[in-house]
Chains A and B, each alone.
Chain A
């Protein structure tokens, strides 16, 4: 892997962000709106609920982590869509750039923008609602690791779908995190769900994060083995997503989809 080529992709996205506030705004806007909205909802619920249970750490923490996952996925897809919108695939894929380098560039771009979003969310959640990540202790590390990896996997898979089915498939991509949210139990224990949904949840790495989070908030100790399953699943999904994208890319080469992206309008 050539680090300079990966750097070129990140630099390209950096140039776009630098020159366009319209691109910078979505990195912060939606996640901060969520934090503020849920912060006040949580604050209100706290006044009417029984004392002793920290709704801020449970609900607002969960929202923050879920928004980070969504931001990672959307950050990766946004970087990919810049190439769709500017009809740039032919220029990129006729260069020495490899698929692994291309995906690495997208992932690094997403990590950079998501880190900014995370810092902004932590600052606002801490300043306005007193949320402290310290409440999760060292478990915050596997929480973040699992959600970032799962976001990367979902983002790569989404990009593959668009590469295969064209820009019209864009509308399928953005709601993917929302489709998963009922299964992973962001706001409620997975045991609340019917059995078939619980079975789906068992295969989603994010479920292990929110289960562990609630255990910690309730004063218990999160099981490291459960989080290890989450990490393993997330790593497996990243590898699977890269494999899928590579297969889709091979299909795109066979069907002539890459030149078609440039030769035809992106409608």
Chain B
């Protein structure tokens, strides 16, 4: 569905004409999309396509060269703190401080996000993510799967209206990854938040995403339902479509929204 057809009324994230250029290199080139409440949107693309750059701009840690990011109706450039209070994120490359325990991390980040009833919320998350037995264990000695569960627990501390997940299941075994996908899916439905999710696992994307945006060279080339989009472009599945996008983006660029 083209971005212009999305009802902005329910959007928790609106990105308009977002562009990031470093000297002569354009990392993101005029990207526009929206994420609605209760929707999981996959942001896909080969390495260097501009996914993490886009997420960094949405998170306010990278200043766009042009364009706007609005979270739950708040322009991040005008009211950064208020906008970021409504979001949260988890990424495999941003682990929580390993020298704090699970509880200490949740306490510190809960205070940073000004979570009301923090003690109760931490207890809920420790139970929800099976972290109770690691409550007083330093995050740095947890396994990859346990650290990912902790990162997700932190990401859900403030019940964000927008959840950003940058390859949240990278380096996890299929069983742990499946478990996390179910938890995130459940949170998105129950919490009525929107999720922007990047992944290189096409099976995962088909399983959890309601809609996908396919990026190449900083531009969205394709957008649609992950189960029907491949057939619309003469491909068997999302993985085949992804490979075509990575190798021959021009052959698909005719479908640019």
Contact = CB atoms under 8 A, between A and B. Distances in A.
Contacts of B176: none
Contacts of B91: 90, 262
B113 interface: yes
Contacts of B111: 4-5, 7-8, 11
Interface string A139-169: 0000000000000000000000000000000
A16 B98 CA distance: 11
Question: What interface size band does chain A fall in?
Answer: 20 to 34
Given A20-B99, A253-B63, A262-B94, 13 more contacts: A2-B114, A8-B111, A12-B104, A15-B104, A86-B97, A86-B99, A90-B61, A94-B59, A94-B61, A253-B62, A254-B63, A255-B22, A256-B61
Given A254-B63, A259-B61, A91 B96 contact: yes
A8 B62 contact: no
A43 interface: no
Interface of A: 2, 4-5, 7-9, 11-12, 15-16, 19-20, 82, 86-88, 90-98, 250, 253-256, 258-259, 262-263
Given A19-B99, A90-B94, A8 B60 contact: no
Interface in B43-59: 52-53, 56, 59
Top 9 closest pairs, chain A to chain B, by CB: A8-B111, A94-B59, A86-B97, A96-B85, A258-B61, A96-B81, A253-B63, A90-B94, A254-B63
B63 A250 contact: yes
Contacts of B95: 87
Contacts of B88: 95
Contacts of A86: 97-99
28 contacts: A5-B111, A8-B109, A8-B111, A8-B112, A9-B108, A12-B97, A12-B104, A15-B100, A20-B99, A86-B97, A87-B94, A88-B96, A90-B91, A90-B94, A93-B60, A94-B61, A94-B84, A94-B87, A95-B109, A96-B81, A96-B84, A250-B63, A253-B60, A253-B61, A253-B63, A258-B56, A259-B52, A262-B94
Given A87-B94, A98-B81, A12 B108 contact: yes
- Which residue among B52, B108, B114 has the maximum number of chain A CB atoms within 10 Å of its CB? B108
Interface of B: 22, 52-53, 56, 59-63, 80-82, 84-85, 87-89, 91, 93-101, 104, 107-109, 111-114, 154
Contacts of B100: 12, 15-16
A94 B89 contact: yes
A207 B84 CA distance: 44
Contacts of B154: 91
A16 B139 CA distance: 13
A212 to B, nearest CB: 41
Nearest to A90: B94
A205 to B, nearest CB: 32
Given A5-B114, A11-B108, A12-B100, A263 B60 contact: no
A263 B93 contact: yes
Contact of B113 (A88, A93, A96, A263): A96
Nearest to B114: A4
Contacts of B98: 86
Nearest to A263: B93
A12 B154 CA distance: 15
Contacts of A263: 52, 93
A86 B97 CA distance: 5
Given A11-B107, A15-B100, A96 B114 contact: yes
Contacts of B108: 8-9, 11-12, 15
A91 B22 CA distance: 23
Q: Which of B59, B61, B89 has the most CB of A within 10 A?
A: B61
Contacts of B99: 16, 19-20, 86
Contact of B62 (A16, A95, A259): A259
A96 B112 contact: yes
